[in-house]
Amino acid sequence: MHDPAELRTLHLERFHAEPAVFAAPGRVNLIGEHTDYAEGFVMPAAINFATLAGISPNTSGKIAIYSENYREERSFDAAALPVKPSGHWSDYPMGVAHVLAGEGHRIPGFSLSLWGDVPLGSGLSSSAAVEVATALAVESLIGTSYPGPVLARLCQRAENQFVGASSGIMDQFISIHGQENHALLLDCRDLSSKLAPIPDEVALVIANTMVKHSVAGGDYPTRRREAEAACAVIARHRPEVKFLRDATLADLERWGHEMEPKSLMRARHIVSENLRTVAAADALLRGDLEELGRLMAEAHWSYSRDFEASCVEADAMVELAADLPGLIGARLTGGGFGGCTVNLVEQTEAETFAQKLGERYTARMGIVPEIHICHASGGAHRVA
């Protein structure tokens, strides 16, 4: 995380007012991919990369937002908030303002500065970090404080309805509820959650394939539609199946022949992934890292072969990690089609692991990857 004192200085110089500063982390999903919108399970951890938001009220009636990442400032009329996105980074913080206004809050003029070290657009959810940091900042300004799960839903709405990206609830939820040295098993149906300890001697090594994912692109909605079509087939026979969360592998055996082949494959991934995710949380709670690693490998190849959401580079990153000393488990994390792999690695081997994996990947793909050694961190908070 960047030094909050530097954000304060930056805010003071630009806006001539003392900011209240908030931090919200990015995240890595250990297992449970494309299960969130099927009302299933995910198991992310917040990481030690975060977005900082500094806020101060002003009397100009303007909302001024500066991002140090983009070195750019935008200004809006607080009395006439934009109702549509502009395709600009400011859509994320303005989406939050828009949603809070929709909840009946009067949004006054304010100055907001943003500065994050969550890599942008790499699948580590800089978007949720910026939304949650902004939401805490604006909440402090208007004197309100939503319970965590409600705030997560509001931030998700900012991303879904304002920005126009169809993502699930996981990113915002873990950015708010992350705990140091823990992963969090989240039931996306009722937002109940359970912490699962990540032992001290385990590092989260995040390897960026440097292939850009895009959740706004066509592949994510296509996969989602295909999966939902499979669910509709099962629901014809078992009306109580509202989401793939309610379906079983036996349902797929029985009615799979009525589905498009691709729909069956997508559903097989989601139904089996839900089972793996719950099993992975149990494995962590028991301290059975070997089982966790096995489940992660199975999850990766299900994601790659049945869900077809991997790519040559991500498959290579997982394969090249497999026999490196210290590896517990590796898989592609995030929405798919590029982005990062997450590797659980024995802490003592993490540096060597990262270096060797980088060399191997560069030799095979001709791309120099960014590799970060992270640990599971706490959720969003006000910085003293």
User: Minimum Å distance from CB 32 to ligand ADP?
Assistant: 16
Q: What does 317 interact with, of Mg ion, ligand ADP, none (CB < 5 to 8 A by kind)?
A: none
Interaction site with Mg ion (CB under 5 A): 125, 127
190 assigned to active site: no
The rounded distance, in Å, linking the Cα atoms of 233 and 258 is 7
Write the DSSP string, 148-206.
HHHHHHHHHHIIIIII-----SHHHHHHHH--TTEEEEEETTTTEEEEEEPPTTEEEEE
Query: Interacting stretch for ligand ADP, rule CB under 6 A, among 120-128, 139-147, 192-200, 308-316?
Result: 120-128
Per-residue mark of binding to ligand ADP, 161-200 (x: CB under 6 A): ----------------------------------------
Choice between 140 and 166, CB closer to Mg ion: 166
The rounded distance, in Å, linking the Cα atoms of 328 and 289 is 7
Structure-token pair, residue 146? 């939503």
Spatial CA neighbour of 277 closest among 145, 353, 183, 361? 183
159 with 92: CB under 8 angstroms? yes
Per-residue mark of binding to ligand ADP, 12-51 (x: CB under 6 A): ---------------------------------------x
The rounded distance, in Å, linking the Cα atoms of 190 and 171 is 15
Q: Which residues partner with 327 through β-bridges?
A: 345
The residue within the footprint of ligand ADP, chosen from 25, 32, 54, 116 (CB under 6 A), is: 116
Q: What does 67 interact with, of ligand ADP, Mg ion, none (CB < 5 to 8 A by kind)?
A: ligand ADP
A 10 A CB-CB count for 14 gives 16
Q: Considering CB under 6 A, how many residues would be counted as binding ligand ADP?
A: 18
Is 69 an interacting residue with respect to ligand ADP (CB under 6 A)? yes
Is 92 an interacting residue with respect to ligand ADP (CB under 6 A)? yes
Q: Which is catalytic among the residues 171, 246, 251, 315?
A: 171
Is 67 an interacting residue with respect to ligand ADP (CB under 6 A)? yes
Structure-token pair, residue 348? 């003592």
φ, ψ of residue 104 in degrees (nearest 5): 100, 5
Active-site residues, by number, are 171
- The residue ranges that bind ligand ADP (CB under 6 A) are 51, 67, 69-70, 89, 92, 114, 116, 120-127, 130, 215
